[in-house]
């Protein structure tokens, strides 16, 4: 079995519940969240127009982009507005009060790179449809 490499990114105590951090690991910029005591790592760059997802808010496990409010499931990166624009998530492990992130691409069913227009079958939340962009001059 191949050894999987995790990279230490920060101490657990430095990311309190409800907080997020944007960190650089190698050439990647990652948004790290402590949501209800669990840590999540997701690519910081919104696949819509590049806003920093680490500055977004979370509602019921859904990360909401601070710019046009596209939504991404925190666990999988799945984007209900456009599954083709789902974003990458990174597996995390906690050891000795420190957070480690695995940078290699995870194999998450329904996440980025899966078949277009196919939805994961394990959805357990409702997502309100965005009716219009916050800035009426911008298109979604």
Of the residues 9, 31, 41, 51, which one makes contact with ligand FES according to CB under 6 A: 51
Query: Measuring CA to CA, how many Å separate 38 from each of 27, 82, 91?
Result: 25, 26, 12
If one asks whether residue 90 binds ligand FES (CB under 6 A), the answer comes out as no
**Residues 35 and 74: beta-carbon distance below 8 Å:** yes
Q: Which is nearer to ligand FES, 48 or 73 (CB)?
A: 48
If one asks whether residue 45 binds ligand FES (CB under 6 A), the answer comes out as no
What's the token pair of residue 47?
């696949």
Q: Which is nearer to ligand FES, 48 or 83 (CB)?
A: 48
Angle among Cα 102, 106, 109 to the nearest 5 degrees reads 150
If one asks whether residue 65 binds ligand FES (CB under 6 A), the answer comes out as yes
Q: Which residues of the shown chain bind ligand FES in the complex (CB under 6 A)?
A: 46, 48-51, 65, 67-68, 70
């Amino acid at each position: 079995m191949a050894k999987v490499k995790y990279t230490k990114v920060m101490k657990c105590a430095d990311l309190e519940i409800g907080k997020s951090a944007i960190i650089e690991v190698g050439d990647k910029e990652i948004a790290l969240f402590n949501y209800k005591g669990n840590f999540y790592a997701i690519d910081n760059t919104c696949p819509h127009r590049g806003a920093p997802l680490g500055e977004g808010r979370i509602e019921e496990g859904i990360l909401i982009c601070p710019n046009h409010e596209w939504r991404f499931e925190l666990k999988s990166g799945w984007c209900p507005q456009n599954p083709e624009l789902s974003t990458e998530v990174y597996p995390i492990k906690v050891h000795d009060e420190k957070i480690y992130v695995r940078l290699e691409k995870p194999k998450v069913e329904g996440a980025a790179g899966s078949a277009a227009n196919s939805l994961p079958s394990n959805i357990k939340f409702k997502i309100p449809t965005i009716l219009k962009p916050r800035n009426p001059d911008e298109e979604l």
